[in-house]
Structure 1
Amino acid sequence: MSANARQTVVIAVGGNALIRDKHHVAVTDQVEAVRESSSYIADLVQEGYTPVITHGNGPQVGFLLRRVELASAELPAIPLDYLGADTQGATGYMFSRSLRNELANRNIDRSIAAVVTQSIVDKNDPAFADPTKPIGSFMDEETAKRREVEDGWAVREDAGRGYRRVVPSPIPRDIVEKDVITTLVAAGCLVVAVGGGGIPVSREESGELSGVEAVIDKDRASALLASLLGVETFVICTAVDTVAINFNTPEQQELHRLTVAEAKKYLAEGQFGAGSMAPKIEAAINFLEQGGKRVIITSLPLLKDAVAGNAGTSITQ
């Protein structure tokens, strides 16, 4: 493996890096959150690393969907893949601008590029037969049934709070822009890519790409990108400093070192929340089984220390 691959690190930034809480959702609040996140990423750049930054987009897509709903009497609907592209562009702009400013303040000159990224999914993925990912606003039953008939939506009742649209969450199989990203990284460019897991597209028999109404797990797509780039280290930044078992109980135990076998064991025992930590552990296992050397799960403030091996949870073979 080249020295460049060892110094390149894929960092999957969680939603808390963009929206801290429900009281700070304005664009100005998100810009401030990204500015803070960029300072931690810049610490790694200062240490000689070339980060490839990925990010979530769930709340942002939800906001755009709500705007579409409110404007439905005047403007046509926007397909989900285009909403994903919109959020990738906006969030990529936030990160590239904030990181550029942060590095300039440290007298570091590095090129930065945000790449609108498409992730290829299999149209025969079982997820399409069982949509589970809730998106958009809550609806009453009458509205939900109407959208089901008129728009072909799949809808489900959500924990007594009303009905929501649900969409498939298929497994990403490839990344269309992988060669572009590889070229940029090889040139020493800092790249923002695979936002929200990438825009889901399928490849037709003709070879053409078609947009798909789906949502891809951000960590799984980030792990795939890390594997395609051939990097040694994949970092998942989330709201907690370390992974724990018996979470939120008197028996809670923080795990600073984990093997793949141990991670699989705890996963099978249901130690990791299905909608929170479990997808991250699954992404970590996928990356390591594809040849990766190390996965780190930690919070952004501990990023530099975690990459140095002094914080967070480190998962290896």
Structure 2
Amino acid sequence: MTSTKNPREKNAAPTEDRPSAHLQARILAEAIPHLIRYDEQTVVVKFGGNAMGDEKLSNAFAQDIVYLKQSGINPIVVHGGGPQIASMLNKLEIKSDFVNGLRVTDKPTVEVVEMVLSGKINKEIVSAINRQGGKAVGISGKDANLMIAKKITEMADPQSNLMKAVDIGFVGDPLEVNPHIVEVISRSDLIPVIAPVGISREGQTLNINADTFASALAARMQAKRLLLLTDVAGVLDSNKQLVPELTIDEAHAMIKSGAISGGMIPKIEGCIEVVEAGVEGVVIIDGRVPHCVLLELFTEHGVGTLVRRADRKKGKG
């Protein structure tokens, strides 16, 4: 016997996983202005940290990226992979050291780095996005000369802040960004997922910090937003409360006063450089929060710390 029950009725009652119809309407009403603001805009998302190793968080991230694409936004994913690289190096009994937060990368190490980043991790993220209904394509900075880099030969001394010569192997800084391949992919229904491996003008493979890679790409493409997923909530004030937004001047002042310290200093300095290069805003987001990308872009207050120019306000385009 055919049931005459209205199929809409089974969806009417709210559950723990499904909000009420009225709540759904309020959520949509809040999101619509943001959807309009980001329509056909480029958003670069750096995916890294513990979220990469958590299946639920990885799936939520993939859902967010697919939703952005389906909403008319052009998401570009750049991923890290430090813990996975360290694990593989340990298995292969290859010693790995760090200088100022950058992995010393000799010839055997750079081969492992490329294998893990461009192979295992890249394809895992591509597969996760595809499982959620997207069409992701995995590339690296070597493809179509996307990221031409130069070997790092000097770094600032942490004590004196003076530049000093270093030899950390095949580690690079962006020198030239050629985004044609990313633009071609983004103009279609495909989503680019990029491993932060670059190439020198001499043809050497170079390991590039994922934040640095994503920042250079976002600046070159004049992205609407650069989202940096991390393992921290964002910038905290003296009361350990999240600072939702900072102008460039405010960020400099917090660094000078010591309110921003330690490993957050180079991250904020990097954000400032990207904003000064023309990106509207850079957001440090806690990647441990499920659906943090959607929460940041499509809610009024977001979930991270936005670094912006003085003439911009969070949530006001």
Whether these two folds match at TM > 0.5 is yes
1:260 to 241, 248, 254: 248
Q: Is the 8 A contact 1:219 1:279 kept in 2?
A: no
Q: Normalised by the size of structure 2, how large is the TM-score?
A: 0.67
Alpha-carbon separation, structure 1, partners of 2:110 and 2:261: 27
SS of residue matched to 1:45:
helix
**How many Å apart are 1:37 and its aligned residue?**
2.5
Alpha-carbon separation, structure 2, partners of 1:80 and 1:115: 20
Alignment of 1:3-152 (within 5 A): 6-20=40-54, 33-69=57-93, 79-88=108-117, 89-103=119-133, 110-118=134-142, 119-123=147-151, 125-127=153-155
Q: Which amino acid aligns with 1:99?
A: I
Alpha-carbon separation, structure 2, partners of 1:273 and 1:44: 33
Alpha-carbon separation, structure 2, partners of 1:33 and 1:100: 16
Q: Which amino acid aligns with 1:117?
A: G
Q: Normalised by the size of structure 1, how large is the TM-score?
A: 0.67
State percent identity of aligned pairs. 24
Alpha-carbon separation, structure 1, partners of 2:233 and 2:63: 17
What is the CA deviation profile of residues 174-198 of structure 1, one whole-angstrom value per residue up to 9, with x for unaligned ones?
A: 346x3211211122421111x3xx2
Structure 2 unaligned runs (5+)?
Answer: 1-36, 95-105, 159-165, 310-317
1:211 alignment counterpart: 205
SS of residue matched to 1:203:
coil
SS of residue matched to 2:140:
coil
Alpha-carbon separation, structure 2, partners of 1:19 and 1:255: 27
Aligned length: 246
Aligned-residue Cα RMSD (Å) equals: 3.1
Going from structure 1 to structure 2, the CA distance change for 1:9 and 1:223 (only over 3 Å counts) comes to same
SS of residue matched to 2:44:
strand
1:285 alignment counterpart: 272
2:192 alignment counterpart: 191
Alpha-carbon separation, structure 1, partners of 2:236 and 2:171: 26
Alignment of 1:151-300 (within 5 A): 170-175=172-177, 178-193=179-194, 195=195, 198-204=196-202, 209-212=203-206, 215-246=207-238, 251-275=239-263, 277-300=264-287
Task: Identify which range, 38-47 or 90-99, moves more after superposition.
Answer: 38-47
Q: Is the 8 A contact 2:255 2:261 kept in 1?
A: no
2:301 alignment counterpart: 310
Q: Which amino acid aligns with 1:225?
A: L
Q: Which amino acid aligns with 2:51?
A: A
What is the CA deviation profile of residues 154-210 of structure 1, one whole-angstrom value per residue up to 9, with x for unaligned ones?
A: 8xxxxxxxxxxx66855322346x3211211122421111x3xx2243223xxxx11
SS of residue matched to 2:262:
coil
Q: Is the 8 A contact 2:135 2:189 kept in 1?
A: yes
What is the CA deviation profile of residues 201-255 of structure 1, one whole-angstrom value per residue up to 9, with x for unaligned ones?
A: 3223xxxx1134xx43211210111112221111111223442133xxxx22321
**How many Å apart are 1:130 and its aligned residue?**
7.8
